[in-house]
Amino acid sequence: MRHYVGGAFDASGDPFPLVDPVHGRTVGEVPSAPAALVDRAVRAAREALRGPWGSWSPADRARMLHRVADGIERRSREFVAAECADTGKPRELASTVDVPRAVANFRAYADLLAGRAERSWHTATRDGRGALNYTVRKPLGVVAVISPWNLPLLLLTWKVAPALAVGNTVVAKPSELTPGTACLLAEVMADCGLPAGVFNLVHGPGPGAAGQWLTEHPEVDAIAFTGESGTGSTIMRAAAARLAPVSFELGGKNAGLVFADADLDRAVAGTVRSAFTHSGQVCLCTERLYVERPVFDAFAGRLADAARRLDGYGPMISAAHRDKVLGHLTGAAADGKVLAGGGVPVFGDDRDGGFFVEPTVLSGLPEDHPAVREEIFGPVVHLAPFDTEEEALALANAGPYGLAATVWTGDLARAHRVAPALDVGIAWVNTWNLRDLRTPFGGVKASGIGREGGEHSLDFFSEPMNVCVKL
């Protein structure tokens, strides 16, 4: 595990332990970047802007992004192994979602860049000769990219690819819990011939360490962050001191609505995915589910049975996070009903030293209960009944978050009526986590600022300039 600064690998800094969440064992060490190294990474990125990278055409940059994608594909087995080792997620998930999506991120932005056009206007003037106005997109400069532990490679590349596409340089800091795939990505960047300093990587925690030093650095021109809402507030305060733009994808307490006319087989299967994928450690996962009363009991029973039958799920990322989730479950068990799960599974092998929590279905809690209001970020979903469409919308829209929602219904008119009325950045109807990389992605309220995806990412990472030519 090494930093990558100015085109060279570096292992300086005090080490911190890397823990395998499946077995709870320390399996290695990661160097924590000292302040001087973070400063050197930012300065290397600044220098690269003034070097050859600054003269590369969009076509040159698009070809480089495709080379990076090729490099990830060639080493896909290593990326899958690193993703599973760091997060404990099932190999099937890493091999069919995380690593292919990283490849797709680079290819999608390369293709978008190649086909992008600027705008122009002919402007009338008093002398009749007119003027030509046109736009030019310029990179923001040095961009800090801070990515989380739940989808380390997917969300890192989701920001790095568009930032590089429009000509920025990057200093990336992955979560200290999941550094492996970021290290491999740095090796791919080096092997592809990306100019020194264009992509830099530093490791370490946030407060009082690499994360804080990077976001507070006066030479960082913009910050892209995915993570917890409170951390986003801290980063925003740091960026405000120099008016640096920010792009945030933050927390969520996502709601789902199941109407009585829904296909219950499809709704149950979809909710198993939306509640328990990666053991609920996905920002888009459903933690609150509101079910129309005539089908509530049937749906709750079937979902609980499905949760009890689940196997092959992964652990929580750390002992601390497991204990946080279990703390919520203890309070929920005292105040409501546990329909399935609610504890720690016993495997009878070395996984019993890991950080697992059973897939859990709750019900009977009031809406102001912490397990219903606060983001748990684990394999936990709470069910509650509703009687009217208006009540369902009021329940779903309550609370400080607004990232994603699901709607399960057989009524097409209702689908088109309810989905746009949800206070979220994305609403799925009769599906979950079906993504088109060209569409806007992000949240409202405490769930984020700005949008990622397609042109929206390219717009954030570049600044439009108007050129006016008198004819």
Tell me the residue type at 199: F
pLDDT in tens, 26-56: 999 999 999 999 999 999 999 999 999 999 9
Q: Please say if 249 is a catalytic residue.
A: yes
Residue 456, CA distances (Å) to 98, 114, 326, 396 in order: 21, 16, 38, 26
Q: DSSP alpha helices (H): ranges in 96-228?
A: 99-114, 152-165, 180-192, 210-215
For residues 309, 313, 315 and 321, what is the CA-based torsion angle, rounded to 10 degrees? -70
pLDDT in tens, 267-317: 999 999 999 999 999 999 999 999 999 999 999 999 999 999 999 999 999
CB 359 within 8 A of CB 276: yes
Return the SS3 of 15: strand
User: Which residue out of 249, 287, 292, 358 is catalytically annotated?
Assistant: 249
Parallel, antiparallel, or unpaired: how do β-strands 8-10 and 3-5 relate? Answer: antiparallel
pLDDT grade for 117, boundaries at 50, 70 and 90: confident
User: Which residue out of 283, 285, 287, 358 is catalytically annotated?
Assistant: 283
**What b-and-e string marks burial along 254-277, b requiring 16 or more CB atoms within 10 Å of the CB?**
bbbbbbbebebeebbebbbebbbb
CB 33 within 8 A of CB 13: yes
Residue whose structure tokens are 């009540």? 391
CB 103 within 8 A of CB 434: no
pLDDT of residue 123: 97
Taking residues 361-384, report their average pLDDT.
98
pLDDT in tens, 413-440: 999 999 999 999 999 999 999 999 999 9
Domains of the chain from N-terminus onward: 3-250+447-470 (3.40.605.10), 254-436 (3.40.309.10)
pLDDT in tens, 379-420: 999 999 999 999 999 999 999 999 999 999 999 999 999 999
pLDDT of residue 128: 97
pLDDT of residue 116: 86
Assessment of whether the complete model's pTM goes beyond 0.85 = yes
Parallel, antiparallel, or unpaired: how do β-strands 337-340 and 286-292 relate? Answer: unpaired
